Amino acid sequence: MFMSKRFKGLGYGLLIGAGVLLSLFLNFLPTGSQGLEVPSEPFLSEVNESPPPEVGWEFLGRQSLNTAIISETEYYGECPGRTDNHIEARFTSRETPPAGQRRVVVRNVTPGLDDDPSPYTDREYYEGRASEATKMRFGTKHSNRYFHVLPGENQFEYEIKEHRRGPVIDAGKFSATIARNLQRVQRDATFEKDKVCANSSVSLDVCADVRNRHKWSCPNGNIIKSEIFPEDRRIITEIHNHTDRTIKVFIDGRKRRINEGGYVDFDDRHPSVRFESGGQREWHSLTAGTRYRFYKRDGKIGFEKYRRHSGW
C-alpha cells in the first residue's frame, strides 16, 4: 500500500515534467513553425512554370511576345467620330530566325473574322531578329494596308518560306492577346468668321458680291452651321471698264454705257453681255457674282475676269 502511493506520485511527477519540457520546446521554435507545413507548393510552381513563347509577334516597347494594346479615341458631342489607330508588329521565331531571302506569311484564323480570305500578311524575313513591320489594327476583313485583329485573344497560323515562291521550311500556330484601350472625348464645333462669295461656285479673288460668314466647323472640315450677312437673295455681278474710252454694252438685251474707269453692276441670275467698240463686237456668257473687266492691249479691247490683288 505504501509502495503503490509512492509509484503513483512518481508517475504524476513525470507527466508534469514532460509537459513543462514540451512547452519550453515549443516556445523556442521560430514563430509560425508550430504547424510544421512542408513548403512544397511554391517550389513546385516555380519548377513547372511555362517557358516564354519562342514564336509570335514582337511589339516596339514590349519585352514579352504576343501582348499589345491598341489605343482608340471615340468622340461625342457636336463633332462625333472615331480615331482608329494601329500598332506595328514584327513576326519572330527563335527556332527559325531570319536569313537569306526568307519570307513569312501569317494568317489570323480567329473565330469571328471573315475567312474569304482570312486576314493575312506576307512580310520579308531577311535579316535581324524579326520580319519587316506590319500595321495591325482592329477589323474583321482582309486589307492590303492593315493586318486586322479582334480585341482579346487571337489565333494565328504561320509559314516560313526560303523565298517568295520557295518551299515552306517551318510552319505552326501561336496566339496573341491584343487589348483595346478606348477613350471617349467630347469634341464640339469651333466658331470662326470669314468671307465667302454670294455665289459659292465663284472664288473670292474674282467675286463681285462678297459676304461675311459666321460658321461652326469640325476638325474634319465639315461645317455644321453657318450664317451669311447680309441675307440678300440677289447676286451682284460687276463689269469694269479699264480702257481709255466709253464702251457700249448690252446686258441681257438692255443697253448700258460704261465710262472710262467706271463700272456697272446688275443682279441677273444668268447674265450675258454683248459689246461694241471701234467696230469690234463680241458676246460673252457670264457667271453671276463674278467681277469682269474690259482692258485694252495692242489697240484691241479684251474682256476677262477681274481678279483682286489685295487678298482676302
CATH number at residue 283: 2.60.40
Q: Are residues 162 and 195 in the same domain?
A: no
pLDDT of residue 18: 46
Parts of the chain with a pLDDT under 50: 1-22, 24-48, 310-312
pLDDT of residue 279: 76
Q: Are residues 168 and 61 in the same domain?
A: yes
Cα gap 194→292, rounded to integer Å: 23
From the CB of residue 184, how many other CB atoms can be counted at a distance below 10 Å?
9
Q: Which of 229, 255, 283 is the last residue of a domain?
A: 229
**pTM of the entire predicted model:** 0.60
265: cell is 453692276
pLDDT of residue 280: 77
Q: Specify if 19 maps to a domain.
A: no
pLDDT of residue 299: 85
pLDDT of residue 22: 44
Q: Specify if 131 maps to a domain.
A: yes
CB 128 within 8 A of CB 104: no
pLDDT of residue 20: 41
From the CB of residue 142, how many other CB atoms can be counted at a distance below 10 Å?
19
pLDDT of residue 276: 75
Closest CA to 70 of 136, 158, 143: 136
Amino acid at 108: N
pLDDT of residue 128: 93
Q: Specify if 225 maps to a domain.
A: yes
* Domain count within the chain: 3
Q: Are residues 81 and 176 in the same domain?
A: yes
| Range(s) of the domain holding residue 140 | 55-186
